[in-house]
Structure 1
Amino acid sequence: MEPFKIGHTIKDLRRFYKISQQELAEGICTQAMISRIENEDLYPSAPLLYQIAEKLGVDINYFFNVSETPRLDYAQEVCEQIRKLVRQTKYDEAMEMIDLEKRNPLFLKGTLHQFLLWQEGVCLFYKRKDIEMCFTLLDHALSLKTTAKNHLSESEIEILTSKAIILCDLKQYSDSIRIFNESLTLLKTIPHIRSSKLEVRILYNMSRTYHLNGQYERSIETASKGISLCMKNESMYLLGELYYQKGESLAQMKDVQRALKCMDHSLWIFEQMGNKVFYQYVNKERTEISQAI
């Protein structure tokens, strides 16, 4: 991308967020420098552009496609490995990696430090049941937000979503639902979303929370939104879980035929994905619902 296009894109994003040049410049550079960049009089250095991207809540590659440095490749690989271990509930292994990277200069500040705080908080809750330290770390991670006022980046919305999921697991359903709604609202303020998976994840967990709170109609409505989003994006991410959740709430509403239909959709998806554990679980639930007819 040509330099003038970078300045133009920065101006468009800044105006989209309705912030002034002074607000964007705060803690980064002078207002005059932002003005010169936007007016095509100055080409920003890589470190400066990185800071501007952080504050606007986008990846630096939003402005132009570049080959990433080995240092950034390493950091991204570490983050992916930690994410994978947490998804697989291998919290001890994840904590070992987190403790190791705490001494790495790359992870001492910025979004990488924020990432470690987030993942450590999640591990402490699910492995050690340390609720107080979990929320301390999550809140600390959110306090390090790099985006402009009233906005969060995708990763920061993910942190907020993790907090809502944990509140649900603690049976604090009202607070959990409030944060899920906040996350969805914030997600709509992002002009460049890398993936729809985060929105699907929020909708699934929100539907689950409504169900656990006895709000079955809201659970069905929210799961339906998630299913529609998956269909729109031709994605199977959490689609089986969404059909299952919708089926569970329909069963509670005594709408057995629709519940069984949703369970069948869920079973087909888990069968296609080769997910035997989820298939067996849903099949058991379907059998119990059908026997209640």
Structure 2
Amino acid sequence: MHAQKLGAEIKKIRAMRGLTQKQLSDNICHQSEVSRIESGVVYPSMDILQGIAAKLQVPIIHFYEVLAYSDIERKKQFMSHIKVLCKQKKYEEIYKKVWDELKKEEDHPEFQQFLLWHHHLSAYVLKKVNYEYCILELKKLINHQLVGIDVFQNLYIENSIANIYAENGHIQKSLELYQDILKQLESLHSNEEFAIKVGYNYAKTLYSDEQYERALYQVKAAIETSCSIGNMTLIGQLFYQKGECLEQLGHPEDDSRIAYEKALFFFELLDLYAYKNTLLNKLNV
């Protein structure tokens, strides 16, 4: 990919300068070598690249900047794709793509952390490793305070650990971790969308622990944040959770019914059919 990007850039500038491959190659290398470089078949040696840069009248640093930018954009696109696959719960595909990327011996700490995070998480979901091993490896990722690591990515990994604790019956550890994440997010004064997600996970775990008052408080806070920033990602699930909390706490039936109706509205609006059917079955509609 990098060789192709570099070759395309050399070819573009050569055309802008009105030079043929033969003219560019004169006193530098054979014309066939320029052809192979522009086709992305080979990287030029340092001497050849310096000669090409001089002939094209551009600083050699320009080509390194092109490669660096290309790599950054590729990583951003890769990370975005993995996040989409996570939402779709396509963990087999995540596991394969991340493993293939890890074999490239990545040297950027934040990207390396991202890859290892999704490698361990997908391995756990696919039952390739047990939850204790997965948590141990995820903790290693956030305990290594490396330069270049996004503070929010550490919190995302902590949220994954809290979720795994909750799934495996370690409720107290899960609750403590959710609380800590929310406190850190409050001090950072940013990333409300992630705060909503953590609040929802926290409320679900509180509900499963029969702490209905606390769960309702967290749900209301998450709904308020969702409305204030106009984010509907989890709004249906939050109203559904609110309805369940109200039922357990013995509130008037109309209160829970209103919450369920709002949840149903958003499930239909966002095409969340699985959630919609679950709610309809609950209501025996």
User: TM (normalized to structure 2)?
Assistant: 0.71
Q: Which residue matches 2:99?
A: 99
Contact 1:118 1:159 in 2 (8 A): yes
1:277 equivalenced with 2:277 (yes/no): no
Distance 1:168 1:132 in 2: 12
Percent of aligned positions that are identical: 20
Contact 1:240 1:265 in 2 (8 A): yes
Q: Which residue matches 1:268?
A: 265
Q: Paired residue for 2:159, among 161, 164, 169?
A: 161
Distance 1:146 1:238 in 2: 32
Residues 56-78 of structure 1, C-alpha deviations (whole Å, 9 max, x = no match):
xxxxxxxxxxxx81111101111
Q: Paired residue for 1:232, among 214, 228, 235?
A: 228
Residue 152 and residue 96 in structure 1: after superposition, are their counterparts in 2 closer, same or farther (change >3 A)?
closer
Provide the secondary structure at the position in 2 that maps to 1:69: helix
Distance 1:253 1:164 in 2: 26
Instruction: Work out the number of aligned pairs and report it.
Output: 216
1:138 equivalenced with 2:138 (yes/no): yes
Q: Which residue matches 2:176?
A: 178
Map 1:85-124 to 2 at 5 A. 85-105=85-105, 107-124=106-123
User: Which residue identity lines up with residue 123 of structure 1 in the other structure?
Assistant: S
1:188 equivalenced with 2:186 (yes/no): yes
- Structure 2: segments with no counterpart, 5+ residues: 1-67
Provide the secondary structure at the position in 2 that maps to 1:266: helix
Residues 193-243 of structure 1, C-alpha deviations (whole Å, 9 max, x = no match):
3x4211000000000000000001111110000000011111112000111
Q: Which residue matches 2:72?
A: 72
Q: Which residue matches 1:209?
A: 205
Residues 19-64 of structure 1, C-alpha deviations (whole Å, 9 max, x = no match):
xxxxxxxxxxxxxxxxxxxxxxxxxxxxxxxxxxxxxxxxxxxxxx
User: Which residue identity lines up with residue 79 of structure 1 in the other structure?
Assistant: M
Residue 137 and residue 175 in structure 1: after superposition, are their counterparts in 2 closer, same or farther (change >3 A)?
same
Contact 2:239 2:262 in 1 (8 A): yes
Contact 2:163 2:201 in 1 (8 A): yes
Residue 219 and residue 173 in structure 1: after superposition, are their counterparts in 2 closer, same or farther (change >3 A)?
same
Distance 1:173 1:283 in 2: 29
Distance 1:258 1:185 in 2: 30
Contact 1:247 1:258 in 2 (8 A): yes
Q: Which residue matches 2:5?
A: none
- Structure with greater contact order relative to length (CA < 8 Å, sep ≥ 6): 1
Distance 1:287 1:260 in 2: 13
Contact 2:131 2:164 in 1 (8 A): no
| Offset of residue 108 of structure 1 | 3.7
Distance 1:253 1:118 in 2: 38
CA RMSD of aligned residues (A): 2.1
